[in-house]
Amino acid sequence: MNGKTAKDGCVFITLREKPGLKEAAAEWFHGKWGVPAEAYLECMDAYLNGETEYGWYLCLDGDKIIGGAGVIENDFHDRKDLAPNVCALYTESEYRRRGIAGRLLEMAVEDLRAKGITPVYLVTDHTGFYERYGWEFLCMVQGDGEPDLTRMYIHR
């Protein structure tokens, strides 16, 4: 998968295409989700070292990370049998409503499918967003340390 340029000049890449962005990407994801950067680095290293095909996907505007998503075994929920999980999907607010998150989701699903990994899952509190990109509500799951159930989606 080669980096692809969108009509607005943003470039979509996998972390394997620009491994030098690993530290910046881990810090960027940490700043969005509060998960320790070390946890992101561990997953990214496993991907970059070929220990897993669960990838990391970025959208860049020049050298600036403006969107990203990853794939991990489990996104902090009790259904360990539902794997892998898209995680940490985020687009900077000033870049929203341009299809960036949708393209990142498509990249992850296409990349995994090409490697024979399907279906793919994700957890979210959103309704109506993921359905636009071919995701279907599957069930409710219990997040680790969360009092309320959250929505689990599947992409077949």
pLDDT tens-digit profile of 78-124?
999 999 999 999 999 999 999 999 999 999 999 999 999 999 999 99
Supply the pTM of this predicted model: 0.92
What integer pLDDT is reported at residue 5 of this predicted model? 59
Residue bearing tokens 């499918």: 113
* Residue 73 maps to a domain: yes
What integer pLDDT is reported at residue 1 of this predicted model? 44
Domain count, the chain: 1
* Residue 135 maps to a domain: no
Domain containing residue 51: CATH number: 3.40.630.30
* Residue 51 maps to a domain: yes
Tokens of 43: 């997953």
Enumerate the β-bridge partners of residue 153: 122, 137
Task: Read off the pLDDT of residues 10-23 as tens digits, 9 standing for 90 and up.
Answer: 999 999 999 999 99
| Cα 115 to chain centroid, rounded | 16
* Residue 152 maps to a domain: no
* Residue 99 maps to a domain: yes
| Amino acid symbol at 78 | D
* Residue 148 maps to a domain: no
Q: If we measure between CA atoms, which residue out of 114, 106, 85, 80 comes closest to residue 12?
A: 106
Q: Hey, which bits of 8-92 come out as E strands?
A: 11-14, 56-61, 64-72, 85-91
* Residue 65 maps to a domain: yes
DSSP labels for 81-129?
TS--EEEEEEE-GGG-SSSHHHHHHHHHHHHHHHTT---EEEEES-SSS
- Give me the half-sphere count of Cα atoms (radius 13 Å) on the Cβ side of residue 50: 0
Tokens of 25: 């990407």
* Structural domain span for residue 31: 4-118
* Residue 16 maps to a domain: yes
